[in-house]
Chains A and B, each alone.
Chain A
Amino acid sequence: MTVLAVSALLVLAACSTDEPTTGASGSPSGSTGSGTGPGTGSGTGEQSKFFVQADYDQQLALLDAAPTGPADKPWEQALNPEMVETAKFKKPGPYKICFSNAGLNNPWRQVGFKTMRAEVDTHRGRISEFVHVDAEGKDQKQIADINDLLGKGCHALIVSPNTTATLTPAVEAACRKGLPVIVFDRGVDTTCPVTFINPIGGYGFGHVAAEFVTQKMKRGGKVLALRILPGVDVLETRWSAAKVAFDKAGVDVVGVEFTDGDPARTKKIVNDYIQRYGTIDGVWMDAGAVAGAAVEAFEDAGKPVPPINGEDQLDFLKLWKEKKLTAIAPTYPTYQWRTPIIAALKILDGERVPNPWKLPQPTITQDNLDEYVDPSMPPLHYAMCGCTDLPGYPKRWK
């Protein structure tokens, strides 16, 4: 009995530490890399094997690109668009639009999906039916879901894949059925969808945050990098871009730690580092989920909060404003959930659409913070939802 119990305990102990808790979700492909980034420098360790120099260069270039499209509707904008013909998909409405969703298993996806439903509501005359199937974060379920949807007479299929490689054959099968397929958020390893929609991506996020922390802290200061967990492509790209930036600037990165997305763990780690080094001069984070906990750790230790980055979640933005932090919030905007609906309708009208459809990825800074802080919204809401003009705002997102 004891032996059985112990061995099972060990198995369970292993499970309990690696629950995926990514705040946002993925960037396109790029899951295999050359692993030959710039050499290791100031305590940042080896470059991630997810690092792909070409993708990195492309994303950094996109950060400076001027978007085309209506300035007040970034979800309709595109960066360096290359348009594709869609005349062969033209059909009279109203349409049945189907959506195979990887999951609703984090606040980012929850906010995104509410935004998508609201977008559908603005096209009530043109969309007669919107079918949503939730794969609950399981590849196998999503493969079956897509297969089921193909028999349901959908006019267009939107897919937000759970993982890149595993879902590729299912998406290819859908393309062969002849209906327009639109992929967004995480990508697939095929060019058969009509368009692939997503914002700039992880390198852009990590780079913007690292540059900010480097510039705002005192020279020669100590930086603590907090990551959620290793091995997730979007988070690896964020970190690898930050590593390049820190190495280039010769920043003293005293620690790179994994928090598991657990605020208690985050506070302990930060507390330990404060004790170990007396002070920490900058904090870089690969996702905003535990930024609030990191800030609290400095407060509880009676130390000033150093320059830090978070994400566009309301709890962090409120804290930033309230405590007058030196902070920045790069985003992986949830407004991208509006775009697939808009794209589907354009395609069914036979209008040309960009492919890939790269959306701008705005950053919240001290200058525009007030536009995004809405104290009445819940703490886990994402401010960059582009949803304030949609039906049912704000009640629907609460």
Chain B
Amino acid sequence: MRIARPPQLLKVRSGGLTPIIVILAVLLVLLTARQPDFLSPPSLMSFLGRSAPVVLLAAGQYFVIVSGELDLSVGSLVTAQVVIAARLIDGDPSAGWPVVVLLLAFGIAVGLVNGLVTTLLRVPSFITTLGMFLILVGAVYLWSDGAPKGSLSEEFRRLGRSAFEDVPALGRIPYALVVLLAVAAAALVLTRSDFGRTLVAVGGNPRTAELSGVRVWRAKTMAFVLSGLAATLAAVLIGGYSGVSFQAGAGLEFGAITAAVLGGVALGGGRGSVVGAMLGALTLETLFTLMNFYGVSGALEPTVQGAIILLAVAAASFRVPSR
């Protein structure tokens, strides 16, 4: 038996982009009120460039969350990738691309393990990826004796740090932004494909999806692999932006999850859009910048993230069930 539903209202409420666009617009207005220069091309470009990694991670996290799972391992994967890259490159300019290929393979492998353990061994993804998080933290610590060794070459760092200079009207366009736009386009195509729709169906109701012939385990595993790939790209950009550090990925998993939730992706799966998740990440970064400009201590950032997760989940529980 179907429950009659008000179509217009529902469209705004469940997974639509309107709320996040409104929030972002409000924050941008507040930001420009305080800092009129913020939207000027050089400052905006640098903001978008440095926000690219967390936006990438939010896109990766979207695929996992919409399929009904969570990926807590991305932050430690980023750290691991940066530390591995530094040790393998060790300042050697020619080692850049081979190492990137290796990192991508490692990212895929971590995603595969996360996915297969979650689906085939039926361990809740929360536990699987928490385990992976701890394994990576410990392994990196052991492998590097507690302090990163080696260094990233300037060539490797270029992608995260440099830009197309002297672009008409915009000044400089960070390479990171170009990478981000390319990934965003690919992610959008992917969500519109059969795979993307299947993933949403799997997250919405895995049983129904299973019964209608979807191989749920394969779809979910693919989602984890995509998240691992996004983390790898983010690691290349972060390593480039700021160099090798044990802190490279600290807390990024929460940034990505908060961003996705803020962007209207429902924890538990089945609702949301990848554009929403990415806008959520930009909104979060804008919010942190705004806090800084208004002189709020950066120490409050985790508190704000926590409040957003709680509010978003609370708000979601008040939603009219869509089916």
Tell me the A residues contacting B by CB distance below 8 Å: 1-6, 8-10, 12-14, 16-17, 19, 21, 103-107, 110, 257-258, 260-269, 271-273, 275-276, 292-293, 296, 300-301, 315, 378-380
Contacts and interface: CB of A to CB of B under 8 A. Distances in A.
A-B pairs, 3 with minimum CB distance: A262-B247, A263-B242, A264-B242
Given A5-B126, A12-B72, A264-B242, A272 B247 contact: no
A343 to B, nearest CB: 26
A323 to B, nearest CB: 14
Contacts of B289: 272
Given A9-B257, A263-B245, A380-B147, A275 B298 contact: no
Interface stretch (B14-22, B181-189, B216-224, B305-313): B305-313
Interface stretch (B93-101, B193-201, B225-233, B248-256): B248-256
A17 B242 contact: no
A14 B299 contact: no
B251 A261 contact: no
B247 A260 contact: yes
B251 to A, nearest CB: 4
Contacts of B75: 16
Nearest to A18: B302
Given A13-B305, A264-B50, A293-B242, 6 more contacts: A6-B309, A12-B130, A110-B145, A262-B242, A264-B247, A272-B292
Is chain B's interface secondary structure helix, strand, loop, or mixed overall?
helix
A14 B241 contact: no
Nearest to A380: B147
Given A1-B124, A9-B254, A301-B46, A110 B241 contact: no
A275 B306 contact: no
Contacts of A265: 247, 298
Of A12, A21, A273, A292, most buried by chain B (CB within 10 Å of CB) is A12
18 contacts: A5-B126, A5-B267, A9-B254, A9-B257, A10-B310, A12-B130, A12-B254, A13-B302, A14-B302, A103-B146, A267-B241, A268-B50, A269-B292, A272-B293, A275-B43, A292-B243, A300-B46, A380-B149
Contact of B310 (A1, A6, A16, A104): A6
Given A13-B254, A261-B245, A261-B247, A2 B72 contact: no
Nearest to A17: B302
A10 B72 CA distance: 12
B151 interface: yes
A348 B150 CA distance: 40
A23 to B, nearest CB: 10
A106 B144 CA distance: 10
B126 A8 contact: yes
A162 to B, nearest CB: 14
A379 B75 CA distance: 24
Nearest to A260: B247
B208 interface: no
A106 B302 contact: no
Nearest to B237: A264
A8 B309 CA distance: 11
Contacts of A273: 292
A275 to B, nearest CB: 6
Interface centre among A5, A104, A257 (most CB of B within 10 A): A5
Nearest to B146: A105
B210 interface: no
A16 B297 CA distance: 17
A232 to B, nearest CB: 15
A16 B134 CA distance: 12
Contacts of B293: 272, 276
Contacts of B145: 104, 110
B79 to A, nearest CB: 10
Contacts of B268: 1-2
B322 interface: no
Interface in B238-284: 238, 241-243, 245-248, 250-251, 254, 257, 267-268
Nearest to A16: B251
B32 interface: no
Contacts of B299: 258
B315 to A, nearest CB: 13
Contacts of B305: 13
B205 interface: no
